[in-house]
Each structure stands twice: as C-alpha cells, then as structure tokens.
Amino acid sequence: MFATYTTFTVRYAETDAMGIVHHSNYPIWFEAGRTDFIKKLGMPYSKIEERGFMLPLLELKCCYKGAARYEDEITVKTTLKGLTYTRLVFQYEVFKNGGQNPITVGETVHVWTDSKLKPVNIRKAAPDIYQLIESTQD
C-alpha cells in the first residue's frame, strides 16, 4: 500500500502552557501529510484545484495516545484508507523521534466537489485523477 512520510520539527508556537503540542495542531499536521501524499502521486492540490475540483473535509477523527514537545522530530504517515467515486478517507499515524508506536492516530473524510462545492463523481469528471489516486490501492 502506498504511504507517505512527512517529517518536521515541532515549533515553539505549537506548544501550550504545559510544554506539549496543543491538540489543535494535529489536524494541521494531518493536512500537511495529506497534501504531501497527493503531491507525491504527481499531482499537487493546486493542480487539482486549477482544474476546478475541491476536496472539502466532511469528517475528522483524532485519538491522542502520547505527547510531543518543542523540538521533537515528528513524522506523519499518511495512507488512503478508502476510495469511492465521490469520497476519500485518509488515515494518519503521527510518530515522535522515530518511535515505533504512534502518539496520535486519525482519519479524515473528504468529498469531491466542483469549485461551487457541488459534489461530483471524480471518476466521470476527471478519470485521470481518479486513476492516479486509485493506483495507491494496489
């Protein structure tokens, strides 16, 4: 299964008064992983949007199992858990400092729409985009 690994260092601004990463940052990290995933397929979000297609968020799930702190190295593993003609489900695992167990896991569900946010069947509207994303399921 195709997966991407997006790595960065925790910034001071991402921490709270307790010195740990604030929970609100994890969805931002998921987005970084998701955009990196699509970019590494060969078609960045910007090109998809230029063609008139959007992927708004429908659902967000996040489960915190550990904590990260300032200057920790973080890796977000992103995979595509589900694919239909109208939706994508991404799965995320966040690891700290090369650890074996994720400190956070999550999922996001997105729907394909046109630029006016009307749902579309991406397989019919842009078969090349659908095939590119479907190729990750092999």
Tell me which residues are annotated as active site.
Answer: 16
CB-CB neighbours of 76 under 10 Å: 25
45-53 long-range contacts, Cβ below 8 Å, gap at least 24? 48/129, 49/115, 51/126, 51/129, 52/114, 52/115, 53/112, 53/113, 53/114, 53/115, 53/120, 53/122, 53/125, 53/126, 53/129
